[in-house]
Amino acid sequence: MLIIVLLVVLILALLYARRVWHRRHAMNNMRQYTSRVTAQVVNAALGQLQDGTTQWHEAHLPLTPIAHTRDWGQKAIMVYEFAATGESLNNTGKAKAELQAAIDQAAHKMGIVSAAVGLSPFAVVDVWQRAQEKHFSVAFQINQSTIEYVQDITRAAEEDALKEKK
């Protein structure tokens, strides 16, 4: 009887381990896909911004993501950080808006749509200057976890802006 119970426990443990492995494998595949697509859209957007009077003059295209956010529990968040060289940012708010508009246009040209109605498929989450590099994070809003992450970050930024005004 004890042997049967141990066999059942062992089989259940193996099935659980297999499920976890498949989930990790699927998340890695999704992260590779979204990283590649995000980089394509970001580079197309930066290519559009090279000719205008924007803050996004970049001599070293194409850019590749230098980092991504980690999983939040069991949730995969598809946000990628990029670093660009060139002139320093004068106004991060304006730079963020310029980049968002160019990314929206590039995504539309590529036929990429959002996972949710009324949302842009990509969201520029943050833009900042570090030493001689412009850094920015772009979220590919392909799953609910990423959409919720972007909403939380946006809400926190708005609350911080209100506190600064007071």
Question: Which pTM does this prediction carry?
Answer: 0.81
* 101/61: higher pLDDT: 101
- pLDDT of amino acid 70: 64
Find all residues with CB under 8 Å of 155, minimum gap 6, and list them.
Answer: none
Count: domains in the chain: 1
pLDDT digits 0-9 by tens, 118-137:
889 999 999 888 888 888 99
Single-letter code of the amino acid located at 83: A
DSSP letters spanning 44-67: HHHHHHTSSSSS---SSPSP---E
pLDDT digits 0-9 by tens, 45-83:
988 888 766 777 777 778 888 877 666 666 788 899 998
- pLDDT of amino acid 60: 72
pLDDT digits 0-9 by tens, 27-47:
788 888 889 999 999 999 988
Q: Which domain range does residue 28 map to?
A: 1-165
Q: What are phi and psi of 130, to 5 degrees?
A: -130, 115
